[in-house]
Amino acid sequence: MSSDGNPWEEPGLSSETEAEIDEGPRCSRCNRANSSEWINWQKCWSTPSTGADGHQYVLIIPWEGGPITLRVHGQGSFEDKDFWWFFTCNLCRLIFRRGGLIIDHAEIEDRFHPGGKGKLAQVRPSFVPKNIGRDQILNPYYEVGGFWIRPPSPASSESSAFDPWVGHL
């Protein structure tokens, strides 16, 4: 938890400079390259905004805790609606869990939220359960598989040059 009490922020995350050194898919939250993790891409159906760095971001405000900014990646479409992909690394998923937010089987979609005193309802991006019916049609088109848990690392007796994840990342 950060010094301001926000459970979604973790002190000591990699700086932008450190993230630029590594290659591979980048976590949408911390921007670290994660070539050693299985990439479980998720869908964002909310239209992102463009940040000062030229990348697209979506701002999510959970029921509790502060706002979460996620960088979204490549765009796709389904019927007449666009969506964007996002990926959250294992460390960031753990940080979310500690804050009471489990996003493993979730996607982002606009939802109505009641306003406070004297305020009208607001539409804003929110984590929602996956739409299984839509995914059954959409996922095969984008060659997206089901939820996958990475098996343990290979035994130490195997060659260190052997990478069992080649072709899976």
Contact at 8 Å (CB) between 84 and 49? no
Candidates 142, 110, 124; CA nearest to 41 is: 142
Contact at 8 Å (CB) between 31 and 16? yes
pTM of the full predicted structure?
0.69
The average confidence (pLDDT) of the chain is: 75
Q: What tens digit of pLDDT does each residue of 30-88 get?
A: 998 877 777 778 999 999 999 999 999 999 987 777 789 999 988 888 888 999 999 99
Q: What tens digit of pLDDT does each residue of 1-35 get?
A: 454 555 445 444 444 444 444 566 789 999 988 77
Q: What tens digit of pLDDT does each residue of 45-60 get?
A: 999 999 999 999 999 9
The string of DSSP codes covering 110-157 is EEEE--STT---EEEEEEEE--HHHHHHHHHHTT------PPPPPPTT
| 104/128 Cα distance (integer angstroms) | 11
- Neighbouring residues of 126: CB distance < 8 A, sequence distance ≥ 6: 60, 61, 62, 108, 109, 110, 111, 113
